[in-house]
């Protein structure tokens, strides 16, 4: 009963979900181009004005996180809607609000030169030394608020639906099973556990984000209204850290659903699995303080907690997921294709990408490394080779089960091209970090330039591979519903 995959309403929603993935995918590819331009500028190959560089940085950071979150929300919605009753209307509102927000952000950045980076750290939006004006700041901040409202609506709906079906969010995380009140066989499915976690953490993140956005907006309109910058930074990173992190917790659902089907094996929920997700729920909420390790005014206990829990944060879920994935796949005679290959690759990327993050979460190392390119090194690895790869895996999966669009040799080449290229882009950042190259600097000394140029070249291959993935998915969207494999209707053994 717990693994009903083909239910009564799957295909009618595919267009809607596909739309979120097409928009997400196209924006990710477009943002890669800004990434390449930044590396070319830092590498001294092209000349970009400083103001322009920071506009690129702002749109790249905002766009990547926003687009990946949008597509990941589509993945979560697709699978979650098989177990609980989600509202289509809310999903349409979500898409519409996100689109409006994106347009406002793009206009604010490019027409009105807003360039505070995606962290919009108070009081920068209002105090820009005339780099940008009130209108640019308002377009960006209000655009982000609208976009965030779209996401908040979505999570209110997923929360409502989970509570309705399972009784409470705690039960969605399987607490009654952990405490022994309910049998393990009746535990909520993995999709529901992950979705509950994301609903909890992202609702909190979005409320923190809305609060600090509104305070910034008032401050931009009326600079005599001020507030505590340390509070603002706490709220900003509570929002940014959690929201960015939650992307992978939404996207990983595709791995949970897809690998057992392909391997024709069961991937059962265990108590350890439930405990791990609960631990990561709590830790994800608390550890944003690792962004404050340089803020001496922070209470010391918060920083120590930030460090200690950062070690522990992603690990429980990563370990149960990576280990579970290996168990499901090992000697199963699994059929490898683009979807299962990408799902497996993403597990590798996630695991490898966490290592430099853990290194950086160490206070001693952090004092040296935090403002170097080491940091983009770790998150490009775990986002680019982890989370985003899960999104592409889902695209190929959906195309396979809902159309007759076939995978070609070109897709396979794109797979290897993508893996190598994103690995190179990330490694280039890590090397720069090890050379003490500061992050977010428009201009580099000659000694810092070589890795940047190397990264830009790798980036071009990444854009090509990504485009091939997206073209495949767009072809699917045009041929939707043509009978493909009947996997959709199969139940796992
Ligand atoms: C072709 C691929 C990519 C290239 C060449 C690229 C390049 C860059 C560069 C040069 C920076 C600024 C580094 C600095 O601080 O000096 C950056 C920052 C960033 N990138 Fe990428 N990137 C790529 C893909 C991605 C992907 C796939 C994601 C996430 C889904 C991503 C998310 C970010 C974020 C969040 C920042 C931080 C922005 C900030 O510091 O405000 N990037 N990237
Ligand atoms: Cu963080």
> Does residue 228 surpass a pLDDT of 90?
yes
Q: Would you say residue 225 has pLDDT above 90? A: yes
Percent of the chain with pLDDT strictly greater than 90: 79
pLDDT tens string 431-457: 999 999 999 999 999 999 999 999 999
| pLDDT exceeds 90 at position 493 | no
pLDDT band at 165 (very low <50, low <70, confident <90, very high): very high
Check if 324 has its Cβ closer than 6 Å to any atom of ligand 1.
Answer: no
The DSSP code for 386 is: I
Whether 285 and 239 have beta carbons less than 8 Å apart is answered as no
The predicted structure's pLDDT at residue 8: 43
Q: In this structure, what are the phi and psi dihedrals at residue 133, rounded to the nearest 5 degrees? A: -110, -170
What is residue 9's predicted lDDT score, i.e. its pLDDT?
52
What is the model's pLDDT at position 455?
98
Report the separation in Å between the CA atom of 456 and the middle of ligand 1, taken as the mean of its atom positions.
11
H or E stretch including 417? helix 409-434
pLDDT at position 285 is: 92
Indicate if the pLDDT at residue 360 is higher than 90: no
Rg value, the chain, Cα: 22
State pLDDT tens for residues 36-88: 999 999 999 999 999 999 999 999 999 999 999 999 999 999 999 999 999 99
Q: Which of 374, 356, 260 is nearest to 310 (CA)?
A: 356
- pTM for this structure? 0.94
- pLDDT at residue 483 in the model: 59
368: left (phi over 0), alpha (psi -120 to 50) or beta: alpha
Nearest CA to ligand 1 atom 7: 35
**Position 6 pLDDT exceeds 50:** no
Say how far apart CA 16 and CA 92 lie, in whole Å: 8
Residues 6+ apart with CB under 8 A from 79: 191, 195, 253, 254, 257
CA of 71 to the centre of ligand 1 (A): 18
- Does the structure show a pLDDT above 60 at 23? yes
In this prediction, residues 153-176 reach a mean pLDDT of 98
Ordered by start, the domain boundaries in the chain are 11-489
Confidence of residue 482 (pLDDT cuts 50, 70, 90): confident
Residues in Cβ contact with 364 at an 8 Å cutoff, skipping those fewer than 6 apart: none
Rounded-to-integer distance, Cα 189 and Cα 2, Å: 6
Average pLDDT for 90-114: 98
- Does residue 490 have a pLDDT over 50? no
Say if domain 11-489 classifies as CATH 3.40.1280.10.
Answer: no
Question: What is the average pLDDT value for the chain, to the nearest integer?
Answer: 92
- Tokens for 268, please give them: 């059962």
How far, in Å, is the centroid of ligand 1 from the Cα of 380?
7
Res 200: pLDDT:
98
25 lines ligand 1 (CB under 6 A): no
What is the 57 CA–ligand 1 centroid distance (Å)? 8
pLDDT tens, position by position, 169-190: 999 999 999 999 999 999 999 9
The per-residue pLDDT for 38 is 98
**Best mutation site among 28, 35, 381 for ligand 1 pocket (most ligand atoms within 8 Å of CB):** 35
Q: List all residues 6 or more positions away from 102 whose beta carbon is below 8 Å from its beta carbon.
A: 27, 63, 66, 143, 147
Number of neighbours of residue 367 by Cβ within 10 angstroms: 11
* Whether residue 487 has pLDDT greater than 60: no
Residue 43 Cβ inside 6 Å of ligand 1? The answer reads no
pLDDT tens for 304-343 read 888 777 777 767 888 889 899 998 989 888 889 999 999 9
Does the pLDDT of residue 365 top 80, yes or no?
no
The whole-number pLDDT of residue 364 equals 73
pLDDT of residue 361: 67
Whole-number pLDDT of residue 177: 97
What number is the average pLDDT over the span 199-203? 98
* Cβ 272 vs Cβ 310: under 8 Å: no
259-292 confidence digits (pLDDT tens)? 999 999 999 999 999 999 999 999 999 888 888 8
Distance 41 CA to ligand 1 centre (A): 14
**Is the CB–ligand 1 distance for residue 68 below 6 Å?**
yes
Helix (H, G, I), strand (E, B), or coil: what is residue 2?
A: coil
Question: What pLDDT shows up at residue 492?
Answer: 38
Q: Is 67 in the pocket of ligand 1 (CB under 6 A)?
A: no
Which of ligand 1's atoms lies nearest the C-alpha of 28?
27
* 290 Cα–ligand 2 center, Å: 6
Beta bridge partners of 372: 438
The two tokens of residue 441 are: 């600097």
CA distance 210 to 225: 17
Judge if the beta carbon of residue 57 lies within 6 A of ligand 1. yes
- Tell me which residue has its CA closest to atom 29 in ligand 1: 64
Ligand 1 nearest-atom number relative to CA 375: 15
């Amino acid at each position: 009963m717990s693994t009903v995959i083909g239910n009564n309403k799957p295909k009618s929603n595919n267009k809607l979900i596909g739309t979120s993935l097409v928009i997400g995918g196209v924006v990710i590819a477009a943002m890669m181009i800004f990434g390449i331009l930044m590396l070319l500028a830092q590498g001294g190959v092209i000349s970009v004005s400083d103001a322009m560089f920071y506009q690129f940085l702002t749109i790249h950071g905002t766009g990547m996180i926003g687009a990946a979150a949008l597509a990941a929300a589509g993945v979560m919605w697709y699978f979650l809607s098989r177990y609980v009753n989600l509202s289509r209307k809310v999903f349409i509102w979500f898409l519409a609000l996100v689109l409006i927000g994106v347009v406002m952000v793009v206009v604010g950045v490019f027409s009105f030169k807003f360039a505070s980076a995606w962290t919009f750290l108070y009081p920068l939006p209002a105090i820009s030394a005339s780099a940008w004006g009130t209108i640019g700041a308002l377009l960006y901040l209000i655009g982000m608020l609208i976009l965030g409202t779209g996401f908040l609506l979505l999570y209110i709906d997923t929360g409502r639906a989970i509570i309705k079906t399972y009784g409470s969010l705690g039960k969605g995380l399987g607490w009654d099973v952990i405490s022994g009140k309910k049998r393990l066989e009746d535990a909520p499915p993995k999709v529901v556990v992950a979705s509950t976690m994301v609903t909890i953490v992202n609702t909190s993140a979005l409320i923190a984000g809305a609060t600090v956005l509104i305070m910034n907006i008032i401050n931009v309109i009326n600079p005599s209204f001020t507030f505590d910058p340390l509070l603002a930074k706490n709220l900003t990173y509570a929002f940014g850290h959690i929201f960015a992190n939650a992307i992978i917790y939404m996207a990983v659902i595709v791995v949970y659903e897809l690998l057992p089907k392909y391997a024709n094996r069961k991937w059962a929920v265990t108590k350890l699995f439930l405990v791990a997700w609960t631990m990561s729920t709590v830790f994800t909420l608390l550890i944003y303080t690792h962004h404050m390790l340089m803020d001496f005014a922070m209470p010391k206990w918060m920083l120590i907690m930030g460090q200690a829990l950062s070690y522990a944060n992603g690990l429980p879920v990563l370990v149960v997921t990576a280990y579970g994935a290996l168990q499901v796949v090992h000697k199963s005679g699994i059929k490898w294709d683009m979807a299962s290959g990408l799902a497996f690759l993403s597990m590798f990327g996630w695991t490898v990408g966490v290592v430099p993050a853990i290194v950086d979460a160490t206070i001693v190392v952090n004092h040296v490394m935090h403002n170097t390119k080491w940091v983009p090194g770790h998150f490009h690895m775990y986002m680019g080779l982890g989370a985003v790869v899960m999104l592409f895996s889902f695209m190929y999966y959906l195309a396979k089960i809902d159309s007759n669009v076939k995978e070609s040799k070109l897709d396979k080449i794109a797979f290897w091209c993508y893996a190598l290229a994103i690995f190179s882009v990330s490694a280039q950042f890590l090397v720069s970090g090890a050379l003490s190259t500061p992050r977010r600097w428009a201009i580099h000394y000659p000694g810092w330039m070589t890795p940047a140029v190397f990264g830009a070249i790798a980036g071009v291959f990444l854009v090509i591979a990504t485009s091939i993935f997206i073209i495949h998915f767009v072809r699917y969207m045009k041929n939707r519903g043509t009978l493909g494999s009947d996997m959709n209707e199969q139940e796992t053994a």
